[in-house]
């Protein structure tokens, strides 16, 4: 994780290293592409920006929240992102029934890392603001990790999060 | 503020109201434009996504953090956004010397609302993670509010935040 963060910083360092260049503005900066909130996990989804915002939406719209932790230089995250973004069923369900949030930095809420901080990690949260630690993936050492092969498991886990919701109501 | 949030929800409700439509996928959804992290406050700046991320960057790169609270349906926020995005000096200084974060939802850190939660509100935070409550705008009842006419005051406040930093080092 730390290594990941450092890489992010290195990248940023490169991007902003125009600082300290000669005063004259003849140095043409390359135009940056605006960052998106989706970060490639589904441009058509409506992403919450922060955990606070996501919790607010989840409560007020009575939809479960899906929090995706990832890093842009982590090959497992990238592979999962591709699978997630290309899976039409996942995208449709996420769009219609979930509040979605993708984060590259951990929050202060320890409930979001029931078995540690690693990426990729997908945590489902009930609208009652309870982390659904019971909804896990396939790996006993990293219970909330998913690989591209697990995409159907993720889909069924999303459906479980919804079913629980309906049973409770 | 609450009214603002409700309006956001109403907009979102409209955007996602395709739910419950006939099963057939003949209803063509309009393609959404991916949300950007800049939200119009400067597409060329590198925006932090969350407060935690921004604090991490601020500490590790020893740059002050500027947190902009705003709402997309607030005319004062929109006017300030326009002035901020169009001011080349502000954009350059923000790009080179600051960590920037714009938020539409409050965080759990009460230090970010020294005199209440309102928008637009611009709070400067030292890399030591101390909110610079002493750096204020022109209005005694909303000390961290800025209007388009105050853009040069904001610029000088940013310079003050940097100067303090250099004096301390």
Confidence band, pLDDT 50/70/90 cuts, at residue A1: very low
| Poorest-pLDDT segment among A4-13, A95-104, B25-34, B72-81 | A4-13
Does the structure show a pLDDT above 80 at A42? yes
Residue A50: inside a domain: yes
Asked if residues B100 and B39 have their Cβ atoms less than 8 Å apart, the reply is no
Does the structure show a pLDDT above 60 at B9? no
Does the structure show a pLDDT above 50 at A83? yes
Does the structure show a pLDDT above 70 at B72? yes
Residue B15: inside a domain: no
Residue A16: inside a domain: no
Mapping DSSP to helix (H, G, I), strand (E, B) and coil, where does residue A141 land? coil
Q: What share of chain A is helix, strand, coil (3-state, %, to 5)?
A: 40, 10, 45
Which residue of chain A comes nearest to B25, CA vs CA? A92
Q: C-alpha dihedral over A82, A97, A70, A117, to 10 degrees?
A: -140
> Mind telling me how many Å the CA of B153 is from chain A's nearest CA?
23
Does the structure show a pLDDT above 80 at B1? no
Does the structure show a pLDDT above 50 at B4? no
Does the structure show a pLDDT above 80 at A13? no
**pLDDT number for residue B19:** 39
**pLDDT number for residue B31:** 86
pLDDT tens per residue, range B133-154? 999 999 999 999 999 999 999 9
**pLDDT number for residue A63:** 97
pLDDT tens per residue, range B113-122? 999 999 999 9
Instruction: Return all residues near B106 (Cβ < 8 A) that are at least 6 apart.
Output: A52, B69, B112, B113, B117
**pLDDT number for residue B30:** 79
Question: For B103, which DSSP code?
Answer: E
Residues of A in contact with B19 (CB under 8 A): 96-97
Does the structure show a pLDDT above 50 at A118? yes
Residue A25: inside a domain: no
Query: Which of 21-50 (B) contact A at CB < 8 A?
Result: 29, 31-32, 34-38, 43-44, 46-47, 49-50
**pLDDT number for residue B107:** 94
Residue B155: inside a domain: yes
CATH number at residue A139: 3.40.30.10
Total domains in the fold of chain A:
1
Confidence band, pLDDT 50/70/90 cuts, at residue B166: low
Residues of A in contact with B97 (CB under 8 A): 19
d(CA A158, CA A94): 8
Query: Which of 127-146 (A) contact B at CB < 8 A?
Result: none
Residue B7: inside a domain: no
Its domain, for residue B118, covers 33-168
User: What is the percent of chain B where pLDDT is above 70?
Assistant: 80
Does the structure show a pLDDT above 80 at A22? no
**pLDDT number for residue B69:** 98
**pLDDT number for residue B153:** 98
Residue B124: inside a domain: yes
**pLDDT number for residue B12:** 39
Confidence band, pLDDT 50/70/90 cuts, at residue B164: confident
**pLDDT number for residue A19:** 39
Asked if residues B72 and B19 have their Cβ atoms less than 8 Å apart, the reply is no
| A46–B34 CB contact, under 8 Å | no
> Mind telling me how many Å the CA of A34 is from chain B's nearest CA?
5
| B52–A105 CB contact, under 8 Å | yes
**pLDDT number for residue B149:** 97
pLDDT, mean over chain B? 86
| A37–B38 CB contact, under 8 Å | no
Residue B9: inside a domain: no
**Closest in A32, A43, A50 to B50, CB measured:** A50
Helical packing angle, B75-86 and B88-97, nearest 10° = 80
**Closest in A43, A56, A60 to B34, CB measured:** A43
| B35–A36 CB contact, under 8 Å | yes
pLDDT tens per residue, range A136-157? 999 999 999 999 999 999 999 9
| B52–A107 CB contact, under 8 Å | yes
């Amino acid at each position: 994780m730390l290594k990941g963060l450092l890489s992010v910083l290195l990248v940023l360092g490169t991007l902003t290293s125009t600082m300290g260049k000669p005063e004259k503005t003849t140095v043409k900066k390359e135009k940056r592409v605006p960052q998106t909130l989706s970060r490639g996990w589904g441009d058509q989804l409506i992403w919450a920006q922060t955990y606070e915002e996501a919790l607010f939406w989840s409560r007020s719209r009575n939809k479960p929240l899906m929090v995706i932790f990832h890093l842009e230089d982590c090959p497992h995250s990238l592979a999962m992102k591709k699978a997630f973004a290309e899976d039409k069923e996942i995208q449709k369900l996420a769009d219609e029934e979930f509040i979605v949030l993708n984060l590259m930095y951990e929050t202060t809420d320890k409930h979001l890392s029931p078995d540690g901080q690693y990426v990729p990690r997908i945590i489902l949260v009930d609208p009652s603001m309870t982390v659904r630690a019971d909804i896990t993936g396939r790996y006993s050492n990293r219970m909330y990790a998913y690989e591209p092969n697990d995409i159907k498991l993720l889909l069924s886990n999303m459906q479980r999060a919804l079913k629980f919701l309906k049973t409770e109501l």
